[in-house]
Amino acid sequence: MAATETASMTETARAFFDALDTGQGWEACSAYCHPDATFAAQAEPLADVKTLADYAEWMKGMMTPVPDGHYEMKSFAVDSERGSVAAYAVFQGTQTGEGGPVPPTGKSVSTDYVYVMEFDGDKIRHMTKIWNDGWALRELGWAD
């Protein structure tokens, strides 16, 4: 892969990640993805989410019960040989807003996760989220 393609992939992945994890939804994320981009995660709350559009809206929805939700990027790596980008971050926030599965708990979450974004050309065609959802849900008081 040429250096310009790697730079483009890096810029796209960073911009997409920020739009996604600041809750801007599919409208802001779609510019960085194929329209039919797929999504996968081995996490119960996301079991029925199969498209990146739906996941972007799910993340947007998370900002209602967790209005101070934000991420801290820990690692960002481009694999130009495989056309993918892996981003490791920590999502943090406190459930003070309505809209979660229970009334506001006032509990905070600090949850590690990794996104692996697979590219087709200059846009994301698939993303996998690696996340310990059970831990996060217990921290928020949403699960036992």
Q: Domain map of the chain by residue range?
A: 3-140
Output the pTM of the full model: 0.94
Residue among 17, 8, 19 nearest 117 (CA): 17
Residue range 16-30: mean pLDDT, rounded:
98
CA angle 135, 59, 103 (to 5 degrees): 65
Judge contact between 52 and 124, C-beta under 8 A: yes
Give tens-digit pLDDT for 56-102: 999 999 999 999 999 999 999 999 999 999 999 999 999 999 988 88
Report d(CA 134, CA 124) in Å as an integer: 27
pLDDT (0 to 100) of residue 101: 86
Judge contact between 83 and 120, C-beta under 8 A: yes
For residue 3, name the pLDDT band (cuts at 50, 70, 90): low
Report d(CA 64, CA 43) in Å as an integer: 20
pLDDT (0 to 100) of residue 4: 67
- The arrangement of secondary structure in 3-140, i.e. its CATH architecture, is Roll (3.10)
pLDDT (0 to 100) of residue 1: 61
Order across the sheet with 33-41: list the strands: 33-41, 123-131, 108-120, 84-94, 70-79
pLDDT (0 to 100) of residue 2: 64
Report d(CA 27, CA 12) in Å as an integer: 15
